[in-house]
Structure formats: structure tokens, C-alpha cells
Amino acid sequence: MKILIINGPNLNLLGIREPDIYGSESLSDIENWLNDQPESDGHSITWFQSNHEGELIDFIHGAMGNVGGIVINPGAFTHYSYAIRDAISAINVPTVEVHLSDINTREDFREISVIKDVCLDQISGLGKIGYLKGIQRLIN
């Protein structure tokens, strides 16, 4: 299966950014770890990160008709980007929402995901394992 793993704003700073919340591994550490997991074998996995809403939307549009599934961590856009929600809804590609931290036990504003309803599942609070579970959810 062709799978896209999309990361939104500030996730390029993983490893440096609030390590007590997001861990000490960088995004490329997580990328390498995930690509080495047996679950990734036989699948074509493409990673994309952007701090820009429009770039994320353009990339999501590019998935239409081309990929089997998307795992997305939209970062803070999770909580208010109806434009990213609409993009996911428009392309009709199975999508799983992932968060490293548990968005339900932090600040109140993080409990709201405007993306959730257009995704197959929301996986939150499992660190990098969340991306693996996201792939498994798409494959099975």
C-alpha cells in the first residue's frame, strides 16, 4: 500500500521542542524507526512535514486517487483548521489522526479536534507508537 505520513507545524522541532511532552527523538529518528518496523515492509511510505496550512492542503490534495491511506499529525491545526478537515474529507482517502501527546489530558483547547470526524480513528498519547498503530489501522 502507498501510505503518506503527514506532520504539521512545529513537528520539525521534535527532540528540541518541549521534550518532557514530545520526547527526545527528532522527526527523522521517528521516521527511521518506523521505516525499520516489520509493519512497514512491502509498503511505500512517504513522509511530509510543513509549518504551512496551504502546503499541507496541497499535499493532501495530491493524495487523491494516488494513495491507499494517510496518517496525519496536524499539530495545532488539529484544533481549528476546518480547511484541513475539508481537504481530508474531499479526497476520500482513509486517514488516521495521530498525536504524540495525549490531547485529552492537556489544556482544554487541545481536547477539540475538528479533524477527528473525517478520520477513521484518532490515536493519541502513545508517542511514536501512534504512527505505527496508524499504519496498522490502514493496512488491516
Q: Which residues are catalytic?
A: 22, 99
- Smallest distance from ligand DQA to CB 74, Å: 7
Distance CA 104, CA 4 (A): 25
- Smallest distance from ligand DQA to CB 71, Å: 12
**Pick 50 or 78: Cβ nearer ligand DQA:** 78
Name the DSSP letter for residue 51. Answer: S
Strands 121-124 and 69-73 turn out to be unpaired
Phi, psi (deg, nearest 5) at residue 23: 90, 175
Contact 100, 22 (CB under 8 A): yes
- Smallest distance from ligand DQA to CB 15, Å: 13
- Grid cell 495521530 — which residue? 98
Residues 6 or more apart in contact with residue 51 via CB below 8 angstroms: 8, 9, 10, 12
**Pick 77 or 92: Cβ nearer ligand DQA:** 77
Distance CA 55, CA 47 (A): 14
**Which residues are near ligand DQA by CB under 6 A?**
10, 73, 75-76, 78, 99-101, 103, 110
**Pick 76 or 90: Cβ nearer ligand DQA:** 76
- Smallest distance from ligand DQA to CB 65, Å: 27
